[in-house]
Amino acid sequence: MKATLVLAGGLTAALLALGAAGLAVGDDDDDDDHHEHHKRGWVEPGEDVQPVANAAYAEECGACHMAYQPGLLPMDAWRQIMAPEALGDHYGDDASLSTDLRAEIAGYLAANAAERSGKSRARAFSVGDAGTEALPRITATRYFRNEHHEIPTRMVAGNPDVGSLSNCNACHQGADEGVYNEHRVNIPGVGRWDD
C-alpha cells in the first residue's frame, strides 16, 4: 500500500515535470524561456558586453538610468566621467559620491572598460572619440552612431516611452544582461526592428 502511494506520487511528479517541459518547449515566444537560453549561452545570441557585476556601481549608477555596462566606454571616458568635478555636474545632474564609493566604482569601471573586454562588440565601443561634449557619451561613439543613425527621431525623442537614445533598455530587451543584438530590439509603440 505504502509502495503504491509512493509510486503514484512519483508518477504525478514525473507527469507534472513532463507537462512543464512540454509547455516550455512549445511556448517559443515566452520571454522567460528566452532569458534562460541567454543565461546558458545557447541558441540565442549571447552577451555583447559583460553584465554589471559590482553592487555599489549597480546601485549608485543605476539610480537615474540603467547602470551602463563598463564595456560600453573606453577607460579614458570613464575616468573623465568619474572625476569628482564631473560627478558634480553630470550631464546637468548632480551624481556626486563619497570618496570611498567613487574610488571603488572608478576602479571597477577602469578594470572592465571596453578595450579590456574579450568581447568584440565591447571593443568596438573603444574606437575613436566619444563625442565633443564636455563629457563623453556612449551614444556619441562612432560605433553607436553607425548602429543607430537609421532610427527616426519620432521613435526616440518624439516617443514618450523612449525619450533619448541613452535609454538603452527602453528598446533593447536584453540590455540589463548585456545583450544588444538587433534581434532583441523592440521599440515601444513601434515594435520589433526587422531590416
Q: Does 113 bind ligand HEC (CB under 6 A)?
A: no
Q: Does 134 bind ligand HEC (CB under 6 A)?
A: no
Beta strands in the chain (DSSP E): 186-187, 191-192
Residues in contact with ligand HEC, counted by CB under 6 A, come to a total of 41
Q: Does 114 bind ligand HEC (CB under 6 A)?
A: no
* 153, 157, 160, 166: CA torsion to nearest 10: 120
Confirm if 48 and 179 have CB atoms less than 8 A apart: yes
Question: Long-range pairs for 189-195 at CB < 8 Å and ≥24 separation?
Answer: 189/155, 189/159, 189/161, 190/155, 190/159, 195/150
Q: Does 50 bind ligand HEC (CB under 6 A)?
A: no
Q: Which is nearer to ligand HEC, 6 or 52 (CB)?
A: 52
The letter for the amino acid at 173 is: Q
Binding track, positions 90-109, relative to ligand HEC; x by CB under 6 A: xxxx-x---------x----
- Binding to ligand HEC (CB under 6 A) within 136-195 occurs at 137-139, 147-148, 150-151, 155-156, 162, 164-168, 170-172, 180-182, 185, 187, 193, 195
Task: Supply the minimum distance, in Å, between the C-beta of residue 163 and ligand HEC.
Answer: 7
* 88, 91, 65, 108: CA torsion to nearest 10: -60
**H or E stretch covering 47:** none
The residues of the shown chain that bind ligand HEC, judged by CB under 6 A, are 48, 60-61, 63-65, 68, 72, 81, 90-93, 95, 105, 121, 137-139, 147-148, 150-151, 155-156, 162, 164-168, 170-172, 180-182, 185, 187, 193, 195
